[in-house]
Amino acid sequence: MVQKYQSPVRVYKHPFELVMAAYERRFPTCHLIPIFVASDVMKEETSEDGSTHRIERRCALDVDAPRLLKRIAGVDYIYFIQKNTLNRKERTLHIESHNETFSNRVIIHETCCYSVHPENEDWTCFEQSASLDIKSFFGFESTVEKIAMKQYASSINKGKEIIEYYLKELDDEGITHVPRWTPSSLPPDLPKLAVTPAVFIPLPANAKDSTSQDAKQDSSALQADSLNEILAGTPEDKLDADYIKRYLGDLTPLQESCLIRLRKWLQETHKGKIPKDEHILRFLRARDFNMDKAREILCQSLTWRKQHQVDYLLETWSSPQVLQDYYTGGWHHHDRDGRPLYILRLGQMDTKGLVRALGEESLLRHVLSINEEGLRRCEENTKVFGRPISCWTCLVDLEGLNMRHLWRPGVKALLRIIEVVEANYPETLGRLLILRAPRVFPVLWTLVSPFIDENTRKKFLIYAGNDYQGPGGLVDYIDKEIIPDFLGGECMCEVPEGGLVPKSMYRTAEELENEDVRLWTETIYQSASIFKGAPHELLIEIIDASSVITWDFDVCKGDVVFNIYHSKRAPQPPRKDPLGAHGITSPGGNNVQLIDKSWTLGQDYSMVESPLTCKEGESVQGSHITRWPGFYILQWKFHNMPACSATNLPRVDDVLATLQVSSHKCKVMYYTEVLGSEDFRLVALCVCVYVCK
């Protein structure tokens, strides 16, 4: 496997000629580079006008590797060939190096370049790239790779400190200016440029202490500069090291390399909008800076964003009134680290009502708008607080959470929302504070936690009861002045208090399916029409006994009778809407019959639950533990009103229903799911353990 490295642009706020003078002081020996033990000049030449100087050297390095590995390899030193080309006229120094030792087993190639800053001719830029390809190494390939990358990363960190060390030394000697080259200014005995190995440069502790202080002083100077000065000279397709530190945070050299390489790859191959550096970095962090994995999920997310126009969501999305009134979440100042703070009063939220009134699409779109707003607030806080802020804090108040929040369609919708957010907004949650967790919370956590990334789960802090008010509680993460009033603080919080969504606001499956833009291709609920003499039936095949059939349905129109039957043999293919044969249509719903007219109850099939009469407007939830494998039929049947006891004549309603069936149909919206016995026992166990405490 080929390991690659690409550095950001590192800027020395000194002229090119002065940086070259500092660079030359590293030779012929340098106490700051103890592993560079020797070098021999192999070739050297200078152009006639003296503007270009080339030198090739063979360098010996005493690499810090286990003695056993050196004995197996049969070498004490590693030899590199390095070629330097100094162009005094163009004010550039190009360095190329490759390994001579073990070149048939390991291939190391590195290029470095010093050049004039494109927007400030008195500054000098430095860039570095390298590749490592270990083909075979006596079975120690992994060990050699780790040693090489560790020492290489160390040398990158200390390379700038070494140049800064010699620049300070020049300044102490009173050398603050070196004249530029001109055709007539080159004396015959001008010292020629020496060579340096561009790899593996460890720094002794005593030198590190002295140079670290200088580096800190230089960093302070950089912070004093304006933003425009920092960014002005960096080409648009490159990243400045100071910009990375200021806006993206402290990254290791190899992490910087991953960011730059992935960014460059997107610029070269991606035809759409290039995401911001902070966004690219989130995907790298989500995959522990594995380039291939990060690139895969980032490309999938970019395709998703383009397909659904997510970049324009904040401008185009307007929250429906039901969300403004009943969605118990909102932004509220920031935490102690400057992260935007989002508050969600989940225990006060009518999850079923919101799903039924809005549908999953609108609810998902609202959650996405919250995440997009979070990204915007992170950028804003980064500028306000003067340090990188790439994630937010979420405070979830669970007071009021109970078993109704475990409504399975609602939980399923929540899991699907989590799946979309995890895939497209990684590493955006800095901390999750869960307050006033009730006894039922572990049940919900058991259902939800497997869908949450492990790194995200580590950011969860859970407080039961009033534990959040004590030491180590809320005040450790949020300033006392902004603690919301409903948590005992003095700050007014504008998050809606929620409540039950009126059933008059519920929408049918057809209405929800007719949304203009869909982010999901299917819906949880299905709708069915029921007529007198034409029930709607649903087939569920059970392989393992003791499985659990769960259901949730709403009677939207009319009264129905709900039955569950079992049969050992499969029914014939379903007959859809038989009323059509009599010229009667059933618009706006599905209607399927499975039980054959020739079947006899008690012989061909059996009833496993008592009939349940359901009135118009009722919501029904339930479950059935299966005793046998086979075929189970869920049936919704038209409820016949009892005839008058004084006469056997049919009622007027029955006559009208016969003549005009379509105007007297029933309608239901239903959702079913089959749970394995193990999954059901796990949930039941959690309920028993935590609810009965």
pLDDT tens sequence across 480-508: 999 999 999 999 998 998 899 998 898 87
Give the CA-trace dihedral at 112, 114, 115, 118, to 10 degrees: 80
Backbone angles phi, psi at 6, to 5 degrees: -140, 125
Flag whether pLDDT at 233 surpasses 80: no
Q: What pLDDT shows up at residue 514? A: 63
CA distance 353 to 404: 11
Contact 347, 436 (CB under 8 A): yes
CA distance 560 to 92: 85
Q: What pLDDT shows up at residue 560? A: 94
For CATH 3.30.530.20, list the domain ranges present in the chain: 2-173
The arrangement of secondary structure in 526-572+590-641+660-680, i.e. its CATH architecture, is Sandwich (2.60)
pLDDT tens sequence across 382-396: 999 999 999 999 999
For CATH 3.40.525.10, list the domain ranges present in the chain: 312-503
Flag whether pLDDT at 143 surpasses 80: no
User: Which SS3 state, helix, strand or coil, does residue 104 take?
Assistant: coil
Q: What pLDDT shows up at residue 448? A: 75
* Residue whose pair of structure tokens reads 């990188």 in the numeric block: 388
pLDDT confidence band for 336 (50 / 70 / 90): very high
DSSP 591-612: -EE-S-TT--BTTTBEE-S--E
CA distance 66 to 550: 62
Cα angle 169, 173, 176; round to 5: 85
Q: Which residues contact 655 (CB under 8 A, 6 or more apart)?
A: none
Q: What pLDDT shows up at residue 589? A: 55
Strands 106-116 and 92-99: antiparallel
Q: How far is residue 70 from each of residues 132, 415, 438, 528, measured CA to CA in Å?
A: 19, 54, 61, 76
pLDDT tens sequence across 611-669: 999 987 677 888 899 999 999 999 999 988 665 444 444 444 444 444 444 446 888 88
Q: What pLDDT shows up at residue 647? A: 44
CATH number of 312-503: 3.40.525.10, 3.30.420.40, 3.40.50.10190, 3.40.190.10? 3.40.525.10
Q: What pLDDT shows up at residue 218? A: 42
- Give helix 277-286 / helix 351-385 axis angle, nearest 10°: 120
Contact 262, 271 (CB under 8 A): no
CA distance 526 to 585: 19
Q: What pLDDT shows up at residue 61? A: 80
pLDDT over 90, % of the chain: 37
Burial label for 494, CB within 10 Å (0-12, 13-18, 19+), is exposed
CATH number of 241-308: 1.10.300.10, 3.30.420.40, 3.20.20.70, 1.10.8.20? 1.10.8.20
Contact 23, 163 (CB under 8 A): yes
Flag whether pLDDT at 327 surpasses 90: yes
Judged by average pLDDT, the poorest of 313-327, 468-482, 583-597 is 583-597
Q: What pLDDT shows up at residue 693? A: 42
Enumerate the H helices of 386-508 as residue ranges: 408-424, 441-448, 454-457
pLDDT tens sequence across 132-141: 887 766 666 6
Q: What pLDDT shows up at residue 602? A: 92
pLDDT tens sequence across 551-560: 988 787 889 9
Q: What H or E segment, with its residue span, contains residue 449?
A: none
Backbone angles phi, psi at 244, to 5 degrees: -60, -45
**Longest CA span, the chain:** 131
Q: Note the Cα 281 to chain centre separation in Å.
A: 10
Q: How far is residue 246 from each of residues 254, 282, 382, measured CA to CA in Å?
A: 18, 16, 9
* Residue whose pair of structure tokens reads 């039980």 in the numeric block: 595
Judged by average pLDDT, the poorest of 135-144, 177-186, 439-448, 523-532 is 135-144
Q: What pLDDT shows up at residue 520? A: 43
Average pLDDT over all residues of the chain: 79
CA distance 365 to 668: 26
Strands 526-530 and 666-675: antiparallel
pLDDT tens sequence across 57-114: 888 887 766 555 556 556 778 888 999 999 999 999 999 999 888 787 788 888 999 9
Q: What pLDDT shows up at residue 138? A: 62
pLDDT over 70, % of the chain: 76
Instruction: Reduce the secondary structure of 143-180 to three states and give it as a string.
Output: HHHHHHHHHHHHHHHHHHHHHHHHHHHHHHCCCCCCCC
Q: How far is residue 583 from each of residues 532, 655, 660, 678, measured CA to CA in Å?
A: 15, 17, 11, 48
Q: What pLDDT shows up at residue 149? A: 61
User: Which SS3 state, helix, strand or coil, does residue 11 take?
Assistant: strand
User: Which SS3 state, helix, strand or coil, does residue 53 take?
Assistant: strand
Flag whether pLDDT at 8 surpasses 50: yes
Mean pLDDT of 670-683: 70
For CATH 2.60.120.680, list the domain ranges present in the chain: 526-572+590-641+660-680
Q: pTM of the predicted model, to two decimals? A: 0.62
Tell me the fold of 2-173: Alpha-D-Glucose-1,6-Bisphosphate; Chain A, domain 4 (3.30.530)
DSSP 260-325: HHHHHHHHHH--SPPPPHHHHHHHHHHTTT-HHHHHHHHHHHHHHHHHTTGGGHHHH----HHHHH
First to last CA, the chain: 55
Of 582 and 307, more confident: 307
Partners of residue 107 on adjacent β-strands: 133
Contact 34, 202 (CB under 8 A): yes
pLDDT tens sequence across 243-254: 888 889 888 888
